[in-house]
Structure 1
Amino acid sequence: MDDSARQADAGEPAHPRTPPPPPSPSADIGAASIDSTYRDRSDEPLKLESEQWDITSISALAAVRMLIQGLESLAEATGDVPPTPPVSRPHTPNTEDMLRRISTAGASIPVPPITIGSPEAHPHEPITVIAGNAEDIVYQHAAIARRFFSKVAPPFTLYEYLLRLHKWCPHSPGVYLAAAAFCHRLCASDLMVPATNRTIHRLSLAAIRVSAKALEDNKWPQDRMAKVGGVSKTQLMNLEVTLCFLLDFDLWVDDKMLARRMYLLQQAARQGLGAQGKLADEFKLKLPLRKKLALAAS
């Protein structure tokens, strides 16, 4: 039996004379229920007293505010930690040329220009271990950390920076919570990167970008994220690679881990992990465990 016969048996015309009505997303029950769920979420950041809390109770704005508060408080407690110079300091590119490239990148995007400042590290500084002796490892530690350092602290707060990012490239609450989890691992748990006013901007940008790529199907274009973040596309790529390398490419998270890491980030800030003068003297960058094992076997 052909399709027209089936339609006739079902009491429907074989060739309808008028097209069906256009779709109406607002009338869809599923979409309406999702919208109402997000409208019910609070925009107020939470001060956590336990790792047992409902991550679905906060909006994306609340999540990014919690990330900001945790990193800013941790940076205030840590103070400034100067990065170790690289093996050989290459020629620093002309700052005016760099700013001009940043301002013209993605010129078609109606986003106000911004610059986060010049990075401490040269784009071609290595991030992988090239030798096994202690001296080379020290330089490798420095090269890894230097990618997150700005030469000087940006002329705006992390609050202003990430709210700008959320305005022009908004993400889901889970992305900001995952970024907080990654930052806690690097800054407080594993002590790989110090949270200072010269690192938290680049670190949070990289953490949010990597989190979005790990958790979401739809992502903002690279040129838009770079322009909103005030860096070049190459710098953003280097920051992402560095973050993944330091995390040993372990990007898996679940709801319990997101809740726990955000709580621990707030706890680290409250307890003054790396208080003024202490972390600057004792901070030692670490390589991921897999890299250590590879060195031991060589």
Structure 2
Amino acid sequence: MSYQTAVTTEAQAGTIPLRHPDTTTDRPPPPPVPSSDPHLIADDPSAPKTSADHGLFEMSPAEALALLSAGVELLVRITGDVPPTPPPKSPTVPHMSGMQAEKENIVRSYSDKNLAKLRKQAELEAKRLAAKDKPEPVHDNQPESGNIDGVRLKPHPGLMSPPPQSEPYVVVGADSQPVNLQHSAITRKFYSKNEPPITINQYLQRLHQFCPMSTAVYLATSLYIHRLAVEERAIPVTRRNAHRLVLAGLRVAMKALEDLSYPHAKMAKLLVRLDYGNTTSD
């Protein structure tokens, strides 16, 4: 009798339990998830430090650069490839109905709300009431004419003169285009015709290598881009405009926060070597 025949005979007799492949005892354990293991996270030397380990003012420029790169890359992945807004085909009329109504509303709201003119009118009204209550002195020897010894006197303006008329509120840029058209034209300037072949991280690392900046500049740039893209939704961050947005944010943050501001010519020479389409020098 073979071994297989003996096992089958004993199983039929009830001495050896049968095992079915679909039972729970033969199922393999679930696959491990390293990210959910607290011991692996605690022992990982490359894991980022928590906020309790160091404060914001102790952050190094390299860490701030990594945060800026990760934030922009996340916005790019969330947004996707969004094409720029095409320019209007027909010429725009400066005096549009919406803008004209807004200008008229401004004129009605602010023409009579000049505080200096209101204060002057109140002072004249107070003087007029005071002069009305006070009796005028009588001078017997005062000549009736305005001439004294042949000299004509300059007439003094009375206190009862009417207040000056308020000037109309002047709207600056009355012939300018609407704000939405100007905004669309500005946002189109950030788009490049060809998608850059390098990532945002490589782009920032090269900038930091030859034009190093401080932690405050990198964090401020990240805040600028987050406000424009998420809070105000002024411009979508895509791979076609992310590089120019980062460069513009860095230059604005440098001029606003730091004494050191690299000239545009130096950064343009640095970016020319990257050679990524039409976004080399801007």
TM-score normalized by the length of structure 1: 0.44
TM-score normalized by the length of structure 2: 0.47
Which is higher, the Rg of structure 1 or of structure 2? 2
